[in-house]
Amino acid sequence: MHYFSRSTCSNSAITVGFMVIIGLLMTVPAVAQESINTVEQATQLTNKTCPVTTDEAVDPQQWIDYQGKRVYFCCQMCKRKFERNPETYLPNLPQFADAAMDTHGEHDHTAIAEAGPHTDALQQRDENSEEAAEHDHSAHKNGSDQGGLAKLISWLGKSHPPSVHFPIALLISAAVAELLLMVTGRSLFESAARFCVWLGSISTLGAVTLGWFFAGFRLSDPDWIMTVHRWLGTGVGFLAILILALCIAADRPGVQQKRWKLWYRLTLFTGAVAVAANGFFGGAMIYGLNHYAW
């Protein structure tokens, strides 16, 4: 066990508080801007229904700019379907009604006629694959048609997006504090790292659980980004438990303490990278993979 003086504990508390506040405040501008954008978009929707799943109302936060015009979707999966083949869905968009009619009128069917039965077979296969991969919009329902436990789970799942900020900020802060401890040897960074590991590990488990509530209980998703985000996040949850266990073992004096500390640090740095990567995939579901393109 480690014993610290009152001044050391005070300095550690100040350091921990400062690191946590900085980590959380970094998310405030993005959240505030997102809220402002949502209000602005809600008042000027160019299409009220999704062009891909035409019986679904759009989500003002799901949009792209196509040919200088904004297009809204009900979810990120529909958005990516549109990006892969936008001309297919243009007739469903009022802002592209004229362009869609012109394109359809000028379309040349000669290549299809020359391809013959093989092309027909490919088209039929694509249509069947599209139907088989049709995504489930149950996660977007408001829960009014659910009851009991299912409704509670759906409601709790809505807390997943804001909850992920805590494990991202805390685990990365723990890794930074541990790195500063290795460089400076100051005990206050050790206390800061331990605090962030404890709180970060607990918040990670909470965020992972809420993530499954939010996305539904399934092993795979029609959208590969969602599948990666789901299982990478679940892996980070198990990794957080391992980090906490190794942190406790590294604090116990003994002949194996140095070995436990080495494994603890390697696991912590790996966890910090993994939680940051999973945060990127979470954002990519809304803003796309090229959101940070220069």
**What tens digit of pLDDT does each residue of 84-103 get?**
888 889 999 998 876 655 55
**Do residue 224 and residue 196 come from a single domain?**
yes
Q: Kindly state whether residue 277 falls inside one of the protein's structural domains.
A: yes
In this structure, are residues 206 and 163 in contact, taking their beta carbons and an 8 Å threshold? yes
Q: Kindly state whether residue 131 falls inside one of the protein's structural domains.
A: no
**Do residue 161 and residue 281 come from a single domain?**
yes
Residue 285 confidence (pLDDT): 84
The two tokens of residue 13 are: 């508390």
pLDDT at 227 over 50: yes
**Sequence letter at residue 137:** H
Domain end position, chosen among 81, 104, 127: 104
- Residue 57 three-state SS: strand
**Do residue 158 and residue 281 come from a single domain?**
yes
Residue 270 confidence (pLDDT): 98
Closest-CA residue to 209 (of 228, 230, 178): 230
Residue 294 confidence (pLDDT): 83
Give the pLDDT confidence of 115-166 residue by residue, as tens digits.
Answer: 444 444 444 444 444 444 455 555 455 444 567 898 899 899 999 999 999 9
**Do residue 270 and residue 168 come from a single domain?**
yes
**Do residue 11 and residue 76 come from a single domain?**
no
Residues 6+ positions from 128 with CB-CB distance below 8 Å = none
Domain count, the chain: 2
**Do residue 171 and residue 257 come from a single domain?**
yes
Least confident of 12-26, 104-118, 206-220, 238-252: 104-118
How many CB atoms sit inside 10 A of residue 123's CB?
12
pLDDT at 1 over 60: no
**Do residue 231 and residue 89 come from a single domain?**
no
Q: Kindly state whether residue 226 falls inside one of the protein's structural domains.
A: yes
**Do residue 29 and residue 158 come from a single domain?**
yes
**Do residue 159 and residue 283 come from a single domain?**
yes
Domain end position, chosen among 82, 104, 126: 104
Distance CA 200, CA 253 (A): 24
Q: Kindly state whether residue 163 falls inside one of the protein's structural domains.
A: yes
What do you get for the CA distance between the two ends of the chain, in Å?
49
pLDDT at 9 over 60: no
Residue 126 confidence (pLDDT): 47
Q: Kindly state whether residue 198 falls inside one of the protein's structural domains.
A: yes
Residue 286 confidence (pLDDT): 78
| Average pLDDT value for residue range 42-66 | 85
**Do residue 93 and residue 238 come from a single domain?**
no
Distance CA 89, CA 122 (A): 20
- Residue 154 three-state SS: helix
**Do residue 75 and residue 173 come from a single domain?**
no
Q: Kindly state whether residue 169 falls inside one of the protein's structural domains.
A: yes
Q: Kindly state whether residue 292 falls inside one of the protein's structural domains.
A: no
**Do residue 74 and residue 173 come from a single domain?**
no
CA-to-CA separations, 236 to 226, 273, 275, in angstroms, rounded: 15, 10, 6
Domain range for 243: 6-33+154-287
**Sequence letter at residue 267:** T
Q: Kindly state whether residue 148 falls inside one of the protein's structural domains.
A: no
Residue 78 confidence (pLDDT): 84
pLDDT at 41 over 80: no
Helices (H) then strands (E): counts for the chain: 13, 2
